[in-house]
Structure 1
Amino acid sequence: MEKKEEQETIDNGGKISIQISSSHAETAMVTTKRSNSNLAKLIFSGHLLAVAIFITFLSFRGFLEAPGFRPTHWCIPLAASIAVSAFTAISLLFLSLHHPSIALKTSLWLSPLFTTFTGILLLATGTGIGLIFAAFTLTGALSLSLYSCSIATHLKHTNQILTISITTVPPSIKITKFILAGLFTGLIYTWFWSLGAGGISAKGSPFAGIYILVLFLSLAWTMNVIRNTMHVAISRIAYMQLMHGLDVDVTQAFTDAATRSLSTICLGSAMVPAIGTFRGMARAMAAIAGGSDEFLFSCTACYINLANLLVPSGNLWACVHVGIHGKGFVQASRDIWEMFIKQKMVPVIDQELTGTFCFLSGIAGGALSALIGGSLMLAVEKKYATEGIVCAFFVGYFIVRLGTAWAHACVLAYHVAFAENPGNPRLGLAMSECLKELETSPR
């Protein structure tokens, strides 16, 4: 194993930093990055160019050629929903940094409430497609309500870990500037994206379903790339504080994430949502099937096993090692999952609710955006209200998820830091206590 020389220095401001100098280590890192290549980044860049052309075509075709369509009746409600989602994202960011317990409970109770109101609004559109979406939304609201009630008593450890980890990256002008830059980038993209969605709604097409799917996949991938860039940079800062009590230059962390690690982030941003969705479907199927051996559920065990095989190769904790060590996404995922298994942390990771908090925050923000934008659209252009409500929801969901990236990245770093050194006094006792409770609880 090659030896690395570490040297601690103190800058003019009295902050401790760490320098690692090893030509062999640097060469290995460069070789690893070259082997991973920039293929994912090239594909992502090409996809952005293609989607930009596609959206421009849809916008001009819909807004200029569709008879009776008024672009302002589409654009103004969507602009209002985007503004609301930005305000919600910033509010949740502030709340999660200063009052994490309140932020957890707020997302828990507001997500089913706002989702219910959105379902009622969809019913008010009076269209067949609106009725379908309303049924799906109201069913989702009921599921969220039951889920929120079931986990309300399990927030103790999540709140403790969230509170400890967030303190490692205190608010500063520098980091806030980068977070707001990412949020602004997301706002610009979602506004441009909404023009393409409006073009589809205005003109219509036999291939409208395919067009919408393409636009949605592009929105999801792009917004996840922005969010995971934040994850990589912030988790690097949090990890160094948790493990060594050292400060990392904020500008350098974000610059490295947006340049040297971008290809890895693009790959991970495509893999994690796909694996997460598959795993969620497998778990839902298992919950519905119970102990049934009916034909419809005969492959449930296969789906669960496949999902469990995929997660170690593609998980969000990889962002920590991507930022710290410059690893490829798959390798970082596997290395970290092996540490989780070694420390018997996998059951705790499965029960940890920070990811749930981020998801529910996105649902609440998306539903609130849909309520604002959909109400305005229902008042001025009822014909396109259903499409407008759905678009506003997705826009709001992804923008609010950007606002929760700071808190989530800190928790990701905490988990990895604990897996590497469970005896670290900077980590507190929250994770150790949770592991002990799992060991002593009846199975």
Structure 2
Amino acid sequence: MPTPTSNGHASRLQIQEPRTMSPLPPPSSSPIAFKEQQGRPPPTTHQTISGKLFRNLFKGLLFSQLTLISLLVIVLTIRGLISASSQHFHPKKWYPPLLASVAVSGVVSLAWQCIFIYNPSRAVRATFWLSPILTCSVGILLVLIGSAEDAGIGSVFVLFAITQSLYGCWITTRFEYTDKILSLVTAFPPARTREVVCLSITVSLVYSGFLVTGIGGATSTRTSLDLLFISVILISLAWTMQVLKNVQQVAISRARFVNFAHGEEMDAWDAFRITMKHLVGSICIGSTLVPIVVFIRGSIRSVNLMSGSSDEVMYSGADCFSAIANKLITLGNRWGFVHVGTYDKGFVEASSDTWNKFRSTSGLEKLIDSDLTSSFCFLSAVSVGAVSSLTAGIWMLLIHKDYALEVTLYAFIVGYFVGRVALAWVQACVLAYYVAYSEDPHSVRFDSTIPHRIQRLQMLSAHRDNRELEVGREREEDSYNDC
């Protein structure tokens, strides 16, 4: 990606123009030495037979499902075009709005890249107020379609928009640190990052457009079996996009880690090539585990928030759920992708090692938990999905109202995943920075951004604990006086 010229927060100590690759020490001391020798990450861990088996199994599963889904889409598309006239399906009215929305999602994603590169701070703030507005607009559009089903789904979008707004108000105090960390880690991205990002977006657009044709073919007949086919296609879209996003994430984070940890330059395209050649199996496993772990952990944290009661049973239940959440996060987390790319570890081992590093560094685990990068990427993707959805929905509302709901939803799903792929490089830079810091917090390559934030969080936590203690004492005194 082009180097931003307006990143005022970039540290002169940490962010320097990367130097060229110099003679390297043995693989045991540098994760990039092995790359020079054999063109793949260093074998710093002994992989078990079961680990290799699972990696090959998931890699085979990825390519098998791509082949089967491609055949299914081709058959559904041909069948849909043949039977369109007899089933009152109008391909000329159904396909153009949805395919146009796919193209729009690509344009918006690229435009958002330019906005972020030019001014990360404004891009972050714009995301947190623009996403609720666009999501609410989609909800209003669905309500205007008229049916009860459309109004129900539209109200869900409106509720989601309100939730985003409340969340944006709640985390305003974290914006300053988020601006600093994003400006810091993206100031000098690895060479040829732009090529990797553009290729990933192009592949995501082509694949999404291809699957959309199969969904249209299944829509033309609308049997119960066709509904199953549509569900299978959407699941394939979600998983494949996750893999594509994480391939980019592993490649960019590997190249960025080399710079943060060793001060060396690594070409993002070389890292991408190595990732595709050797690490797809581990990435497939991570792409399956991380969404599941994030969903379960998010649900547990929500339960804990709602269990703020003086009831002892509720407290014990919350403690049990917290223990489960703490165990799950070590088995599958997005930071593990850095070690997958850098050290060629299995995904579960990489996740465990990175999280244990965070826990061994005072205050870092809490800082990682409060980081807004994932929220920024998520809401940016929601914004892209909303723009894509509005494009298709308004078009369908004007020319063929009967299909407006489903086309609007399909466009939102496609736009969301394209947006996630587009911003994977940003998240990869942040992941690499945190992991590199956890391995050597006292390195001269790191400035005071993280230590100052940890100190700030510790002060806020101590203040909160003191306040809760005072409130508890006041309640005890009140109850004693009542007696």
CA contact 1:312–1:337 (8 Å) conserved in 2: yes
CA contact 2:19–2:263 (8 Å) conserved in 1: no
| Partner of residue 406, structure 2 | 387
Identify which of 403, 411, 425 aligns with 2:430.
411
CA deviation map 1:39-80 (0-9, x unaligned): 110011111112222222333333332411111212111121
CA contact 1:232–1:409 (8 Å) conserved in 2: yes
Give the secondary structure class of the aligned counterpart of 1:327.
Answer: coil
CA deviation map 1:253-277 (0-9, x unaligned): 1111111011111111111111111
Displacement after TM superposition at 1:193 (Å) = 1.4
| 1:436 correspondence with 2:455 | yes
Opposite residue 92 of structure 2, the aligned amino acid is: T
Displacement after TM superposition at 1:17 (Å) = 3.7
| 1:130 correspondence with 2:136 | no
Equivalent residue runs for 1:262-411 within 5 Å: 262-291=280-309, 302-344=320-362, 345-411=364-430
Displacement after TM superposition at 1:381 (Å) = 1.3
| Separation (CA, whole Å) in 2 of partners of 1:338 and 1:30 | 16
Give the secondary structure class of the aligned counterpart of 2:256.
Answer: helix
Identify which of 240, 244, 247 aligns with 1:222.
240
Give the secondary structure class of the aligned counterpart of 1:315.
Answer: coil
Displacement after TM superposition at 1:234 (Å) = 0.7
| Partner of residue 75, structure 1 | 95
| Partner of residue 21, structure 2 | 16
Q: Are the structure 2 counterparts of residues 36 and 168 from structure 1 closer, same or farther at C-alpha, using a change threshold of 3 Å?
A: farther
Of 90-99 and 201-210, the range deviating more from structure 2: 201-210
Opposite residue 228 of structure 1, the aligned amino acid is: N
CA contact 1:168–1:242 (8 Å) conserved in 2: no
| 1:54 correspondence with 2:69 | no
| Separation (CA, whole Å) in 1 of partners of 2:76 and 2:317 | 41
Displacement after TM superposition at 1:33 (Å) = 7.7
TM-score, length of structure 2 as denominator length: 0.83
Structure number with greater Rg is 2
Q: Are the structure 2 counterparts of residues 22 and 321 from structure 1 closer, same or farther at C-alpha, using a change threshold of 3 Å?
A: closer
| Partner of residue 3, structure 1 | none
Of 357-366 and 88-97, the range deviating more from structure 2: 88-97
Give the secondary structure class of the aligned counterpart of 2:171.
Answer: helix
| 1:234 correspondence with 2:252 | yes
Equivalent residue runs for 1:81-230 within 5 Å: 81-169=101-189, 172=191, 174-207=192-225, 209-230=227-248
| Separation (CA, whole Å) in 2 of partners of 1:213 and 1:306 | 31
Runs of 5+ consecutive residues of structure 1 not aligned to the other structure: 1-12
Q: Are the structure 2 counterparts of residues 14 and 112 from structure 1 closer, same or farther at C-alpha, using a change threshold of 3 Å?
A: closer
TM-score, length of structure 1 as denominator length: 0.90
Q: Are the structure 2 counterparts of residues 295 and 415 from structure 1 closer, same or farther at C-alpha, using a change threshold of 3 Å?
A: same
Runs of 5+ consecutive residues of structure 2 not aligned to the other structure: 1-17, 35-40, 466-483
Opposite residue 274 of structure 2, the aligned amino acid is: D
| Separation (CA, whole Å) in 2 of partners of 1:131 and 1:157 | 39
Q: Are the structure 2 counterparts of residues 114 and 340 from structure 1 closer, same or farther at C-alpha, using a change threshold of 3 Å?
A: same
Q: Are the structure 2 counterparts of residues 379 and 159 from structure 1 closer, same or farther at C-alpha, using a change threshold of 3 Å?
A: same
| Separation (CA, whole Å) in 2 of partners of 1:29 and 1:341 | 22
| Separation (CA, whole Å) in 2 of partners of 1:103 and 1:333 | 30
CA contact 2:45–2:345 (8 Å) conserved in 1: no
Give the secondary structure class of the aligned counterpart of 2:67.
Answer: helix
Displacement after TM superposition at 1:300 (Å) = 5.7
